[in-house]
Structure 1
């Protein structure tokens, strides 16, 4: 195993601290070679039974990208209704919660729930492990992108079934994420939702139990 010295450890911690959920993108395109590198590195993520269940769908049509953005905007408007009459309503409505329309690259990540790769190892009692494997691949992609100065935003205010039909993928693929990628317009080491007063980081001690 190669040595990972103190300098590497410090730089890795910096990478983790600067990894952000990006909503504001510059217009600079991502080079095709960089996209291929990112997907290659993401595919090094661990997966249950080595099943590699992730399926990447790149949106190459501007019309499809606009249709997806309109769908998310509509879902966002519906989601805002839950805050009506609350103190957070105005803040929620002011938040930019996706960058689908302007992001240079948009990826939809699906899990192949019927993949035969891995021969079913590890999913007999926990079939959701395939989806967790896809999340691990997304996190790997996220860090690899940040390492190159590329931002990533995970969009979840949407209807998975609508998106699956929109992208015309097999019925046994389940949507895990819609990802926007591009160079951040406003790089920061502090989450935007924390900067805007939506939610700060809570103490780690509140999230650790011992038995």
Structure 2
């Protein structure tokens, strides 16, 4: 199949407008949309076609409260890494949308799945984690194309989240995603806009 220049331009706009969203409206997300998003993850590449990602939709209010408490503890510890003005700047950042986001997904990675029969990961088992990361990115872009936003909460203790959600042995916490309708659209990353870290260009050096 050949794609048109217009379709290529649309993909570029989706990539440019994909943001790590922290500010959500409480409006629910239509279940049909969520089903489409779930199906898009199956389009992600994975080593040996192992599809090592596992996703739990966290709806229970007590579980959500426990996740927020875990974030608060981890965030307080992370803040101790900074001093003076940088400490104040860190505390001013909004680093999670856990209070409002209507949909919350915990993503896990299975490091020894039966699927794929070990193909392609004997020398680089890290490719299983990379496959799960690509599935998350695929979901992220698909959500943006649905005019939704996703925010990844990385300031969590992995073992605590695994225990909290009672996941099977061998499931490794990979990401906690907040999903919903953004309060506003922005083509500039939050950390760039606040002056914490500007976007930089990467090079492809030749050897």
- One fold, TM greater than 0.5? yes
TM-score with structure 2 length normalisation?
0.97
Distance 1:120 1:104 in 2: 37
Deviations 1:60-98 (A, max 9, x none): 10110111011101100110000023x311111000100
Q: Which runs of 5+ in 1 are unaligned?
A: none
Q: What is the match of residue 62 of structure 2?
A: 63
Matching residue of 2:52? 53
Matched, 1:157 2:160: no
Residue of structure 2 in register with 1:15 after alignment: 14
4+ aligned runs moved over 4 Å, structure 1: none
> Which residue does 1:121 correspond to in 2?
119
CA RMSD of aligned residues (A): 0.9
How far does residue 52 in structure 1 lie from its aligned partner after superposition? 0.7
From 113, 137, 140, give the equivalent of 2:138: 140
Q: Which residue of 2 aligns with 1:41?
A: 40
Counterpart for residue 100 of structure 1: 98
Tell me the secondary structure at the aligned position of residue 88 of structure 1: helix
Give the drift of 1:210: 1.7
**Count of residue correspondences:** 207
**Which residue does the alignment assign to 2:86?**
88
Structure 2 unmatched runs, 5+: none
How many Å apart are 1:11 and its aligned residue?
A: 1.1
